[in-house]
Amino acid sequence: MPEETTVRDKRAAERKTASMRRQETTGGLWDSVKKAAVVIGSGILFLAAFGNSVTWHLQKFWGASGDFWQNQWTKLYLAFEGREASLFYMGTMLAPTLAFWVSNGLLLLVDTTGKPSFITRYRIQMNKNDPVDPVKLRQALRTVIFNQVFISGPMVVGVYYLMTLRGNPCGPELPTFHWALLELALFSIIEEILFYYSHRLFHHPSLYKHFHKQHHEWTAPIGVVSIYAHPLEHVISNTLPVVIGPVILGSHLSTTCMWYCVALVSTTISHCGYHLPFLPSPESHDFHHLKFNQCYGVFGVLDRLHGTDAKFKQTKQYERHTLLTSLTPLTHSIPDHPKKGQ
């Protein structure tokens, strides 16, 4: 009898411990979500409260040059009068596609030739993609073009029809500078939330091997593989977080076009493999490709709140995760620890 009592007590203790762990996990995740909501909500309130003072000088400039930009838009608007859909697709397909391929064309020149050597000095993972594997690159390019033509294209068509339900996204009046700036900030917040959670979802073992593993074939990424992904991932994690903001806000084409271009160039920089002077740091996402289970977000806010950058913060890459304001590569000014035996 005493033995049975002991066994029952042990099982009860184990069940209680397991229950407490589940509660701690759920509570910790919920606390992180609440913290994220507080941070993001505070950011919106900050923009609303201090937007006028922060953007006063920029607004003054916009007011001075506003007639010029409005006149250019009016000419374009009149040229496409009665063909608003064509104007919309030019701004949301042609312009972002050009931004993507111009930036990636320059990077591919460096990736495939190793020249100019001035750029290769800034490579994050030394001796990787030097030069890039041509067979692997051709496979990636085929997938990228497929995603742009057969996934992104139809989604933008759907976006146009959704936005027309809110009004005319190609209206004759440009938005004020202050409103455009606020919209871009809100787009960024929406993208951070949707990308972080959808990206982390695709890292779940049951989904990773079927979908996201394709993107992680590149442990040392290059710019063009930013949209090298399974079609389902490209819809949910790459495209939806970017296009949903302008749909929700009923944005003007000018702001939407600017946002699409910024988003594509930004993800190109995050994947490019080079920490170049005066450009946003790609260290965190490069580390994600190297280690897989760290740094899921765009800006790192939700990674910090959820603790998914804990290992990253212990590395030299984290020390280099800053804006480079000199011409000295950060791998030189903040070198890796010497390996044992060296």
Structure token pair of residue 98 = 């050009």
Full DSSP string of 271-334: HSSB--TTS---HHHHHHHHHSSS--SSSSHHHHHHTTTTTGGGSHHHHT-S---SSS-HHHHS
Q: CA nearest 199: which of 208, 189, 190, 186?
A: 208
Q: What is the pLDDT of residue 62?
A: 55
Tell me the C-alpha distance between 277 and 94, whole Å: 28
Would you state the torsion angle of the CA atoms of residues 147, 148, 154, 156, taken in this order, to the nearest 10 degrees?
A: 130
What pLDDT does residue 106 have?
96
Q: Write out the chain's pLDDT in tens, 342 residues.
A: 555 556 566 666 556 555 544 444 444 455 545 555 555 555 555 555 555 554 555 556 655 555 778 889 999 999 999 999 999 999 999 999 999 999 999 999 999 999 998 999 999 999 899 899 999 999 999 999 999 999 999 999 999 999 999 899 999 999 998 899 899 999 999 999 999 999 999 999 999 999 999 999 999 999 999 999 999 999 999 999 999 999 999 999 999 999 999 999 999 999 999 999 999 999 999 999 999 999 999 989 899 999 999 999 999 999 999 999 999 999 999 998 776 555
Is residue 35 within a helix (H) or strand (E), and if so which, with residue range?
helix 2-54
pLDDT at 307: 93
E strands within the chain?
Answer: none
Question: Which amino acid is residue 167, in one-letter code?
Answer: G
Name the nearest CA neighbour of 140 among 208, 237, 229, 219.
229
Answer left, alpha or beta for residue 250, where phi above 0 means left and psi between -120 and 50 means alpha. left
Residues in the chain: 342
Extents of the domains making up the chain: 30-81, 84-333
Alpha-carbon distance values, 42 to 39, 50, 214, 245, 321 (Å): 5, 12, 37, 19, 25
Reported as a single tens digit per residue, the pLDDT across 166-196 is 899 999 999 998 899 899 999 999 999 999 9
295 φ/ψ sector (left φ>0, alpha ψ -120 to 50, else beta): left
List the alpha helices (DSSP H) in 147-176. Answer: 153-164
The CA distances from residue 166 to 60, 109, 141, 175, in Å, are: 30, 43, 36, 15
